[in-house]
Structure 1
């Protein structure tokens, strides 16, 4: 199974649809829909930052990811919009979380960082109500943005679903997305597998394969790709045969355009002339990004750790 082919096709689809990630006039509106403006842009930035960092500069995919990241940065007016958002919603965490993706790749705005640092020192910021996984993400966003984290990772981790080492049969969709993001935060989006504590690593080694199989059987492609990214991020990847089969199934779900639906039945991959847009953008952009992300981490694991035949498929 050629994992790289999945990554190439997914990034090609993202490139062809990059204008759909652009911020419109509603990005600063008081009643704007953040999930349709800043969220897609932030996810594009994070995935491209991770792919760019994990791919050799000589690789064409490094150039493509870097160009997409530059495109996303330009959408923020090179960081100026973060400063505006700070004044409009000083205690919203999502601007900092999006900014952290850019900052991790070297795109910084000193004015925004100074303003965010002032807010981050307030009691109001420290006691904002958040889900445990989100709080862990904010702590990591502060660190990546050069701010003093308002909490400690071990304490935040202990309050998450994964950190509690729950009964494996309690796994479901929400828990699945929570655990993947916990691992992403702990590993700097897959680039530091040793960031996963030993007890969590052992737990994931045992239970990640059946959870992944369950999601694939349910045709939950988006969550399956996130779990494959986790598999390439932990200190000891699961059984190679299980991952080989998972990648075959993800590849079969990928349309010839490169798009992968978030879930459900897939369109005919034979590639009829009229099937260039098989899914609505909102139904496939995140899963397609996650496929590129997971594939990039998988190929990087092969290259950098030389785990040929020891944890990730070719």
Structure 2
């Protein structure tokens, strides 16, 4: 038996991947990918996010799954956009101490796409004092260390020390949860679990804390129509050593499925369907701007793949666990995507 009836999460994931496949050219690198004034958030970041999601999904579904060829094609497409890794080497020469090329490369490396020349060059830079001393947000530093590991480079720090400086690692008061903290905690879990592949990577105290407080946080984000963060929290919920109560997951997926546009797209936040869609009428194939929905759509595909692949667990006595409830968190701060802040935002 799965964590939630797989049909609903599966349908959301299939529709999301259909949309991604239909819009894959929008993930292509343009002429500005190597420009000094290029917008990283509009070039490398979407491509890296596509690679990371597809790398994870490809390992969550068997080769016999009808979705597998679609995901493999998207991965091949993304790798070709990098010149089969050659552009990473060029980026290394242009911005030797920027971390985002390694973070994007790590997504490909996790799927078996490697460029030995780039790895050798990146390893050389990673041995410098400047690389080790670059000032970063704690969650970002944890992600860079994970990227180093995946890229064949000895991490420049220790995970426990880096984790202790993150918002989640400090086990903060649960009522202080807000948007920025939500994105920080989801990425801490993604880095600790190798994007859902190693659920035991979450320390017991963090796992217990999240098991208790994730349900009310997720509920609040869904109520606020924060679909992007909701999908990331759904991915976290099935990346813990023990699963959230299945009823919580079932309700969340039902709400996401009801909100998903017929095209498969899911905007980051706000009202999902326009009046025509709610009335059952034909709507435009692209009701939302690409930049307003690509990340949340990818996150839906990612969370759906983890959900359908993860079996349900039980208490030691064999019974279903009860999801703990607590005070509802706030969703007050704006989620700011900073240039070069890693994959995904």
- Give the TM-score range, shorter chain: over 0.9
- Name the structure 1 match of 2:335: none
Are 1:287 and 2:296 an aligned pair?
Answer: yes
The separation in 1 between residues aligned to 2:166 and 2:74, in whole angstroms, is 32
Moved more, 246-255 or 1-10: 1-10
What is the TM-score normalised by the length of structure 2? 0.87
Q: Which residue of 1 aligns with 2:61?
A: 55
**Residues 52 and 63, structure 1, Cα contact 8 Å, conserved in 2:** no
Q: Shift of the alpha carbon at 1:127?
A: 0.2
Helix, strand or coil at the partner of 1:298? helix
2:226 maps to: 220
User: The residue matched to 1:95 in structure 2 has which SS?
Assistant: helix
Rounded Cα–Cα distance in structure 2 between residues aligned with 1:75 and 1:310: 46
* 1:102 equivalenced with 2:108 (yes/no): yes
Unaligned runs of 5+ residues in structure 2 are: 322-345
The one of the two structures with greater contact order (alpha-carbon pairs below 8 A, sep at least 6) is: 2
**2:13/2:304 contact within 8 Å kept:** yes
* Corresponding residue number in structure 1 for 2:341: none
* Alpha-carbon offset, residue 64 of structure 1: 1.0
236-245 vs 149-158, greater mean Cα deviation? 236-245
Is 1:245 matched up with 2:251? yes
> For structure 1, which runs of at least 5 residues remain unmatched after alignment?
none
How many residues align? The count is 309
Displacement of 1:126 after TM fit? 0.1
Contact 2:243 / 2:313 at 8 angstroms: preserved in 1? no
Report the TM-score, using the length of structure 1 for normalisation. Answer: 0.96
How far apart are residue 47 of structure 1 and its match? 0.1
Q: Distance in 1 between matches of 2:283 and 2:133?
A: 52
1:274 and 1:238 mapped to 2: Cα distance? 36
Instruction: Supply the RMSD in Å over aligned alpha carbons.
Output: 1.5
Residue 3 of structure 1 and its aligned partner are, at CA, apart by 1.0
1:277 aligns with 2:286: yes
Asked if 1:65 is matched to 2:71, the reply is yes
Kindly indicate which of the two structures has a greater share of residues assigned to helix. 1
Give the conservation status (yes or no) of the 8 Å contact 1:165–1:200. Answer: yes
Runs of 4+, deviation exceeding 6 Å: none
